[in-house]
Amino acid sequence: MTLTSGLSGRRRAVAAGVLLALIGLAGCGGGGSAQDQAARNIAEANNSLRGDWLLVDYRPEVALEPVMAQLLAVQIGRLHVNFDGTAAAVQGVGVQTRRTYRIVESDGHRSKIILYDDTGMSYEVTATQQGGQLIFQAFTAPWRGLGTLQRGAPM
């Protein structure tokens, strides 16, 4: 005996329609799973990050050695970063490098980004975009601190 065998033709059609709708809703997961939403948030954050940025502020958590402090001071307003979706090209006064990166988490507002240097060392950063600025906090020594990148400064 099937689920609709005891029903009239019209009721059977309505029951089948309701059953199909329920199956459709179950397949959609009510808009997607939490994992799907996390993947969408990461993709949106990556798209938002793409493009040219200029370092306009950086405040280290711990005072830097004098030579490093001078190097940093020269970079403010001159260090350009271009994010292309998988790598960050960095160019400043006496500095030119490329770092791969990956956004590992995003809630649609704040993102956790891991950058990798040539040796495979990882650097953890959280970032929040506010208008044309990217406010970031770096957690890996020696560059622990808070900084700001301004959008739209091509290299």
Spatial neighbors of 127 by CB under 8 A, at least 6 apart, are: 49, 110, 111, 113, 134, 135, 136, 137
> What integer best gives the mean pLDDT of the chain?
83
* Segments of the chain assigned to CATH 2.40.128: 38-151
CATH code for 38-151?
Answer: 2.40.128
Asked whether residue 29 carries a pLDDT value surpassing 50, the answer given is: no
Question: Looking at residue 32, what is its pLDDT?
Answer: 67
Could you tell me the pTM of the whole model?
0.75
Task: Provide the pLDDT for residue 95.
Answer: 92
As a dihedral over the C-alpha atoms of residue 130, residue 135, residue 139, residue 142, rounded to 10 degrees, the angle is 170
pLDDT tens digits along 2-18: 444 454 555 554 444 34
